[in-house]
Amino acid sequence: MRKTIFLSILFLNLSFVHSYSNNELYNKIDLFGEVLEKIKKDYVDEVDQPEMIDSAINGVLQSLDPYSAYMSPENFNEMQTDTRGEFGGLGIEIGMESGVVKVISPIDDTPAANAGIKAGDYIVKIGDEQVQGKSLMEAVKLMRGPVGTSIKLTVRRKNFKKPLEFIIIRKIIEVKSVNAEILGKDKDLGYIRLKSFNENSDNQFLDIIKKFEKNSKLKGYILDLRNNPGGLLTQAINITDFFLNDGEIVSTKGRKVSETRKFFARKGDEIKGKPIIVLINNGSASASEIFAGALKDHKRAIILGENSYGKGSVQSIIPLRNGGGIRLTISKYYLPSGNSISEVGVTPDIVVEETGQDFKINTKNDNQLNYALELFNS
């Protein structure tokens, strides 16, 4: 009887486990059940058993990699809002690294970005609660709250000895993925800032290109993917395709045959071979790295800025019968060169690190953008 109960708790399917014999696997399940019984009987405080099982499931997933996670029904519903373009919160993309919450990137013009949160920051406290030991979704839940309320984040930052504290006011986050303007002394450079790869990013991007291409003075493009945490793989492929005539864009490799694929560019460069500079930094991740890496491998663009984040895997959101879901890594992607960017990232052709306390993207204090503008004028 006990074996049946614990099998249902863990949702295990023995057919997926090849390294264990049936007896070995049953022994492990029995061990887990024994631990649960000991906790229930002898632990100093009374425990919430369903919550403990959720934590166990999440622990299994997070032992696989930093991006796989379990979402309770409540967290799963909240997650759905992230891809629809509007949600309440601080405006940061986060991930797990060695059990600590790490900022992948702050979203432009959001409370977190305006307060000074940077890509690569490690969040150690949310309010008065230590983050160590919490799941990613638990950290997200702590950061969200009623619009207009404040929260204190304590972060560790590279090259800073002491923790930094930020008071941030929550607000509705509207994710507008594409902004654009004409730059340059002679107003002859198309600047496109891509903040994320959302459902309609490719159409917005293409509309801007077509508008810019009507300008006979235009001599090149600066494509800004700094602090772009990624998004939909299909969008990365579509937008990269705008600038290539042929060749491979990216390949994915997984355990299933259906997850092992190659994606190629279709004939037709939307900007007719004009030169491109792509700006990246430590907050450029996932789909951003596909885009920058493909254009670099095809020698179609100069990549300028800082090394990118290094997230070279594809996650699928899989609904569960209880109304929750899991985010599970199903494949890894590879650049046209065959290189993986996992834990490595894309290395710029020209390294220009962010400088100055007053640095802000697309302002007079943006030394990386200024460098790109100078390159076009040299």
What does the domain layout of the chain look like in residue ranges?
Answer: 2-71, 74-174, 178-317+329-377
Q: Which two tokens stand for residue 374?
A: 């100078």
Burial 136-161 (b: 16+ CB within 10 A, else e): bbbbbbbbbeeeeeebebbbbbeeee
* 74-174 shares its CATH topology with 178-317+329-377: no
Q: Which of 108, 241, 311, 331 is catalytic?
A: 311
**What CATH number does the domain located at 178-317+329-377 have?**
3.90.226.10
What DSSP string describes 116-144?
T--TT-EEEEETTEE-TT--HHHHHHHH-
Give the pLDDT score at 9.
Answer: 40
Q: Which of 108, 121, 224, 297 is catalytic?
A: 297
Cα-only R_g, the chain = 23
30 assigned to active site: no
For residue 311, which phi and psi values (nearest 5 degrees)? -110, 100
Give the pLDDT score at 21.
Answer: 63
Q: Which of 160, 138, 57 is nearest to 94 (CA)?
A: 138
Alpha helices in the chain (DSSP H): 2-10, 22-42, 49-62, 73-80, 111-115, 136-143, 201-212, 233-241, 287-297, 367-377
Q: Enumerate helices (H) and strands (E) in the chain, giving the number of each.
A: 10, 19
Report d(CA 222, CA 215) in Å as an integer: 15
Paired strand residues for 284: none
Per-residue tens of pLDDT for the chain, all 378 residues:
443 333 334 444 444 444 556 788 888 888 988 998 899 889 999 888 888 888 888 889 988 988 898 988 887 877 665 544 445 689 888 888 877 899 988 888 889 999 999 988 999 999 999 988 788 878 888 888 888 899 999 999 988 999 999 999 999 887 778 999 999 989 999 999 999 999 889 999 999 999 999 999 999 999 999 999 998 899 999 999 999 999 999 999 999 988 899 999 999 999 999 999 999 999 999 999 999 999 999 999 999 999 999 999 988 889 999 999 999 999 999 999 999 999 899 999 999 999 987 888 999 999 999 999 999 988
Give the pLDDT score at 83.
Answer: 46
Give the pLDDT score at 87.
Answer: 55
311 assigned to active site: yes
Q: Which of 201, 286, 313, 331 is catalytic?
A: 286
Give the pLDDT score at 226.
Answer: 96
CATH 3.30.2270.10 fits 74-174, yes or no: no
63 assigned to active site: no
Give the pLDDT score at 15.
Answer: 45
Nearest-10 Cα torsion for 264, 266, 267, 273: -70
